[in-house]
Amino acid sequence: MTGALRVLEHHLLVYRRTWKGSLFTSFVSPVLFLTAMGLGLGSLISRGPVRTVDGVSYVAFLAPGLLAATAMQSAFVETTYPIMARMQWLRTYDGMLATPIRVLEVLAGEFGWLAVRLALGSSAFFLVMLLFGTVQSGLGLLAIVVAVLTGLAFGAPIFAFTATQRTDNSFALIGRLFITPLFLLGGVFFPIHQLPQFVQGIAWLTPLAHGVALARGLSVGVLAPAAGIHLLVLLVYAAAGVVAARITFRRRLAP
């Protein structure tokens, strides 16, 4: 697996030059969202009929949900266009495969890098949550791990799909038909039980609802008995995605 480490090293070297650009998305953007939605909108909710959401202030409710949803979004971005670029537009993988690195090592390196990126972004987000005082339990630190898992639960299957594509046409549609609806209706901004029964069922089929519920429980410090199920769903999605990606990526790149 030294090949995978080489691939990871490649990404770290590139990132050394480009990390400043990701600073906005991973640090400034959560600050803005939590200020506007959490505090601004939260001030309306605290004067409204419910005052708190699921027993906590709106900003404390929103923050862990956004943490998981942001991981989902960055996993989506990282496993579509950049992968297509390395496979087809820039032919980075062809370059890598001309060395002793093998296809599955490239794949392992890519997933390793995805996990590193997700961990960095989620840690930055977690710092913002600490700044806003929304972490109410020491268990909250584990929410970073949950966010990374949520990202992988999306990133791995999307990676498998990207490996089957020749153009980038379908990426915008994935964003609009899956990622954005989940971001808005998947339990981040308001509790899922407010949705119609049928839509609730759909929401619980996706990894986001489980990632959000788990991250929220850890951040607030109340772990529901369903926590094990949430974790299991995330792991199953991530594992199934990795297995699928092994097949599609090898089919795409193996000579």
Partner 1 sequence: MIAVLGRRSFQVPAVRRAGHLVERNAILQRRGWPVIVSGFVEPLLYLLAIGFGVGALVGSTVTVNGHPLRYAVFVAPALMASSAMNGAIFETAFNFFYKLKYVKLYDAVLATPLGVADIALGEISWALMRGTLYALGFIVLMVALGLVISPWALVALPAAMLIGFSFAAVGTAASTFVRTYQDFDLVLTVLIPLFLFSATFYPITVYPGALQVVVQLTPLYHGVDLLRSLTTGMIGPSILLDIAYLVILGAAALALAATRLERLLLK
Binding residues for partner 1 (CB under 8 A): 18, 21, 24-25, 28-29, 32-33, 35-37, 40-41, 43-45, 47-50, 53, 58, 169, 172-173, 176-177, 180-181, 184-185, 189-190, 194-195
Helix (H, G, I), strand (E, B) or coil at 56: strand
**Tokens 């993988």, residue located:** 93
Q: Which CB sits closer to partner 1, 112 or 175? A: 175
Q: Least separation, in Å, of the C-beta of 232 and partner 1?
A: 27
Q: Which CB sits closer to partner 1, 13 or 50? A: 50
Task: Report d(CA 108, CA 115) in Å as an integer.
Answer: 11
Helices (H), the chain: 2-23, 29-33, 42-46, 58-78, 81-84, 92-97, 103-131, 142-162, 169-174, 180-185, 197-205, 207-220, 227-253
Q: Least separation, in Å, of the C-beta of 131 and partner 1?
A: 17
Q: Least separation, in Å, of the C-beta of 191 and partner 1?
A: 9
Q: Least separation, in Å, of the C-beta of 24 and partner 1?
A: 6
Question: In Å, what is the CA distance from 153 to each residue of 114, 223, 230?
Answer: 11, 21, 12
Task: Report d(CA 89, CA 190) in Å as an integer.
Answer: 40
Q: Which CB sits closer to partner 1, 24 or 131? A: 24
Of 123, 199, 119, 125, nearest to 151 (Cα)?
A: 119
Q: Which CB sits closer to partner 1, 82 or 109? A: 82
Q: Which CB sits closer to partner 1, 42 or 109? A: 42
